[in-house]
Amino acid sequence: MKKLLAVTGCPTGIAHTFMAAEALQRAAEANGVQMKVETNGAVGVENELTAKEIAEADCIIIACDKNVEMERFNGKPIIEVSVTDGIAKADALIKKAISGGVAVRGEEKKKNSEITEEFSGAPSVGHEIYKHLMAGVSNMIPFVVAGGILVAISFLWGIYSFDPNSDQYNATAALLKSVGGASMGLMVPILTAYIANSIANRPGLVAGFVAGTIALTTGSGFIGGIIGGFMAGYFAKWMVKILSGLPKEFEGLKSIFLIPLVTVAVIGTIMALLGDPVSAVNKFMMDFLSNLQNSNPIFLGIVIGCMSAFDMGGPVNKAAYVTGTLLLGQGNFYFMAGVSAACITPPLVIAIAVTIFPKKFTKDERAAGFVNYILGCTHITEGAIPFAAKSPFRVLPILMMSSSISAVLTYMMKVQVPAPHGGFLILALVDKPLV
């Protein structure tokens, strides 16, 4: 019996990671092959692959949108794809893995005209860029959520409860806002640093943090942070490459002195020079979105709704969420409300459909559908993915339309959400909770 291994991981490490693992396990079972899946989830690596298992494996599937330790797979046939392919194309991946035409890591690709090139074994440039970007986003989100919710809780004592000169002042509220604000303030530096870390590992981390801090202080925000992260990462990677010929005796000098000094000096200088122009672009974008929610809430709601439901936790959904959190940091609580409403809608729509029309669904679908009540109430959009994956051209437009309705109504009724999260868990923090 063929032995296959897989590694799955998504940026947030919550839903896609385990959905891909389950899809691959089922596909392997259906094709009569043995498989073990390592998951890189939010709590770390689980079901880790051993050296013996890797040595005995016929092929390894990497369905990840985050960095994993790849050196351990040298000399083994590798298929590397996005985590969404691991969910949607699990059967095709298993068939490719057992076909015998997979590229071996570190060797020339096998040529076989009869083998499909759908999965070439090497990630595309677009997937690599997305993976690095999502590495930054996934590390940033816990800081944003923790800090944002603490700030939002402080508002329960009053919107000015942190101000000692206000009648609403409360010491506990002021402390919570201070702690939450410190966490939120790390948003851009963390984003930038971990983009650079994803590209160049530890050599990129120092320059990435410095670039992110400069982006924060110059007002260039997340646009400057993204630019700085990629510049720091690729420049650090280049530095490591050109210094690789140095004798081993200089390893400490290279890693502790030369690379940090040169990368910080070069990237820091570039970021300082880019600060004003990028800051102007960032301010224009934020002002445009803020004005749009007042002048044309219907159009904005449709855009946010479609983005949130289009890939449910993927890059388009994350773009809407990150924009909402950035505006939240500037005191705009309206934009995030629309994003939150749009994100919780897809799983709730699925749950309601299963409840009203149970005969239209299989037993397993009904069980999964009822779980979506919990997922929707806790802002986990990904619960709707299995239903969309089975019939995307029918289900996705319905979900996008539903999320658009939610966002449009939220903007029209001027609901505010002071936390970078959604669902009924934070209902006590929401302005106009009944609405």
User: Hey, which residues are catalytic here?
Assistant: 10
Residue found under tokens 């990368």: 263
For the chain, the first-to-last Cα distance in angstroms comes to: 58
- Beta bridge mates, 40: 45
User: Environment class of residue 357 by beta-carbon count within 10 Å: exposed (0-12), middle (13-18) or buried (19+)?
Assistant: exposed
CB under 8 A, 24+ apart: contacts of 120-124: 121/77, 121/78, 121/79, 121/80, 122/80, 123/80, 123/81
The rounded Cα 254 to chain-centroid distance in angstroms is 33
Distance CA 67, CA 134 (A): 10
User: Environment class of residue 66 by beta-carbon count within 10 Å: exposed (0-12), middle (13-18) or buried (19+)?
Assistant: buried
Question: Which residues does 349 contact at the CB level (< 8 Å), separation at least 6?
Answer: 384, 398, 399, 402
